[in-house]
Amino acid sequence: MQRATSLERRVDAIAHRALLRAPANGIRAGLIEFAVFVLKQAWACIFGAALLVAIVAAGLWYPDDAALARNDALTIAAVLIQLAMLAFRLESGRELWVIVLFHITGTVMELFKTDVGSWAYAADGFLRIGGVPLFSGFMYAAVGSYMVRVHRLFDLGFDRYPRRWMTAILAVAIYVNFFTHHWWWDARWVLLVGVVLLWLPTIMHARVWRRTIRVPLLAVFAGVAVFIYLAENIGTWAGAWAYPDQADGWQPVSLSKLTSWFLLMIISVVLVAWVYPPQVPAAVLSRADAARAPSGAR
């Protein structure tokens, strides 16, 4: 497991010993690979899952007459979760910088979006900037946390990854469009085309246990966006924030938000790629070397 924290290296060693005698082929081997995949995904989601549990618990059981406002309690809970991630070696200091940067970019967007009425939070508590409680930035940080953790838990490699300067330009354009589309033309569909053109050839290689799966990266982007959309529905149902059409009662978040989360996720992907440059899998490099070798040397 590349770039793993000290705790994760110990967990990985224990898992290897436990699975060492597992069969390499057959149905049981496939079930084991699937179980390891699910466990790794759950481990990667631990920040976001813990924060979502706190949001749901606050929505269901936090007393309305408590001395500490619910939003302030959620902010304190989010800070404690982040500190625990560092204290228990679930995140490294290098990863924290990516998460903090995504936290800041998310909070800036929250300030603008709440000001123009895209969504709203309960106007209580002291731990907020304007109408934005500080826990909101941690929701964006949770996406960044997942990205950096899944990158190393699965030893991700990428075949035909686009040039990073091109992805950076597109990510900046996506971020700017989240603001400018309120008074100018919404370029999201052009940006989506740009994402498809850049990443369509890219194949992601993810090591599960013995097997390495190969998936088109665009399919991975879409899958993650769907899960974030589902988490958003849970968050709004719990009353963490509300869209205008939810003011008179909760209803599912508009499916149009899927495109927003898809594009926002691209920003986090680009940020992670600048900290952990995408690596070409060894198998791909070997095939390329073999193809370049003189015929007599093969």
Q: What is the mean pLDDT of the chain?
A: 88
Contact in structure between 143 and 268 (CB atoms under 8 Å): yes
151 found inside a domain: yes
Tokens for 244, please give them: 């205008």
Element of type H or E holding 133: strand 132-133
Contact in structure between 71 and 125 (CB atoms under 8 Å): yes
Helices (DSSP H) in the chain: which residue ranges?
6-19, 27-44, 46-61, 70-87, 93-115, 135-153, 164-180, 188-199, 217-237, 257-275, 282-292
Cβ-based neighbours of 57, under 8 Å, separated by 6 or more = none
118 found inside a domain: yes
Asked if residue 12 has pLDDT above 80, the reply is no
Q: Tell me the percentage of the chain whose pLDDT exceeds 90.
A: 59
In whole angstroms, give the CA distance from residue 264 to residue 270.
10
| Confidence label for 4 from pLDDT (cuts 50, 70 and 90) | low
276 found inside a domain: yes
pLDDT computed for residue 33 by the predictor = 86
**pLDDT higher at 13 or 203:** 203
User: Domain range holding 278?
Assistant: 6-297
Which residue type occupies 248? D
Tokens for 280, please give them: 């070409």
Q: Residue 148, class by beta-carbon neighbours within 10 Å (0-12 exposed, 13-18 middle, 19+ buried)? A: buried
Identify the CA nearest to 175 among candidates 277, 276, 265: 265
Tokens for 274, please give them: 């600048």
pLDDT computed for residue 288 by the predictor = 53
Q: Phi/psi of residue 212, each to 5°?
A: -115, 125
In this prediction, residues 44-70 reach a mean pLDDT of 94
Tokens for 215, please give them: 């998936």
Identify the CA nearest to 242 among candidates 230, 227, 256, 252: 252
148 found inside a domain: yes
In whole angstroms, give the CA distance from residue 45 to residue 42.
5
Going by the DSSP 8-state scheme, the letter that residue 242 receives in this structure is B
Going by the DSSP 8-state scheme, the letter that residue 66 receives in this structure is -
Q: What is the pLDDT of residues 186-225, one digit of tens each?
A: 999 999 999 999 999 999 999 988 889 999 999 999 999 9
207 found inside a domain: yes
- Residue 271: CB atoms within 10 Å: 20
In whole angstroms, give the CA distance from residue 94 to residue 99.
9
Total domains present in the chain: 1
| Confidence label for 272 from pLDDT (cuts 50, 70 and 90) | confident
1 found inside a domain: no
Asked if residue 294 has pLDDT above 70, the reply is no
96 found inside a domain: yes
Q: What is the pLDDT of residues 103-114, one digit of tens each?
A: 899 999 999 999
> What does R_g of the chain's alpha carbons equal in angstroms?
21
